[in-house]
């Protein structure tokens, strides 16, 4: 019995999903969790948390901002019209695989100059963003210009972007566990104008 084109596409989709999951699992096994855990007290002690990222990494940070808001933190997304000035006691959570994205580096410069702490999630500690950061968590993923396929067979910075989302969800889950607020209480903070 020969495969139909639909069967072949289904098999290809399945294989790609398994590859994506496998790459994220391999990244998680290489992660320095002590380095990541150091982010938690910075978020807990922050007066306010600001998040910044570009492209798909920015979307992952926006998703994290929502979860941190559910937890009761005061959170702002850089670039939104209602985002206030950052200052002392605040934390800028910045995501950039290369650590060279100009808008993110500029935001980090301004945050540091205003007395805020900068927490970077990146693939490297050797970058302009890392130089400005109070703390850097390194995700051992390919940068978007790495087309060699040695670290990831996925396109561009896909593994980094996925791992940022997963890591920030793990940070939220850990903070939530420490906080102990029931899910029903967190849900009261969920947007109700949808």
* Class of residue 103 by CB neighbours under 10 A (exposed 0-12, middle 13-18, buried 19+): middle
| 185 is a catalytic site residue | no
Q: Are 140 and 152 in contact (CB under 8 A)?
A: no
Calpha distance 98→124 (Å, rounded): 7
Calpha distance 188→7 (Å, rounded): 44
- Reported in sequence order, the residue ranges of the chain that DSSP labels E, i.e. its strands, are 49-53, 75-77, 91-95, 117-122, 135-138
Catalytic residue among 29, 80, 161, 184: 161
Positions annotated as catalytic residues are 161
């Amino acid at each position: 019995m020969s495969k139909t084109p639909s069967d072949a596409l289904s098999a290809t989709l399945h294989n790609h999903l398994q590859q994506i999951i496998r790459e994220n699992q391999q990244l998680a096994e290489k992660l320095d969790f002590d380095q990541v855990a150091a982010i938690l007290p910075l978020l807990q002690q922050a007066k306010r948390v600001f998040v910044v990222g570009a492209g798909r990494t920015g979307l992952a940070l926006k998703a994290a901002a929502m979860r941190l808001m559910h937890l009761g933190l005061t959170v702002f997304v850089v670039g939104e019209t209602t985002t206030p000035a950052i200052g002392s006691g605040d934390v800028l959570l910045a995501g950039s695989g290369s650590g060279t994205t100009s808008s993110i580096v500029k935001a980090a410069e301004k945050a540091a100059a205003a007395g805020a702490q900068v927490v970077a999630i990146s693939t490297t500690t050797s970058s302009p963003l890392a130089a400005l950061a109070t703390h850097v968590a390194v995700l051992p993923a390919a940068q978007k210009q790495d087309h060699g396929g040695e670290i990831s067979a996925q396109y561009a910075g896909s593994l980094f972007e996925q791992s940022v989302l997963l890591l920030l969800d793990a940070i939220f889950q850990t903070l939530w566990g420490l906080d102990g607020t029931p899910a029903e209480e967190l849900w009261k903070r969920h947007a109700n104008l949808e």
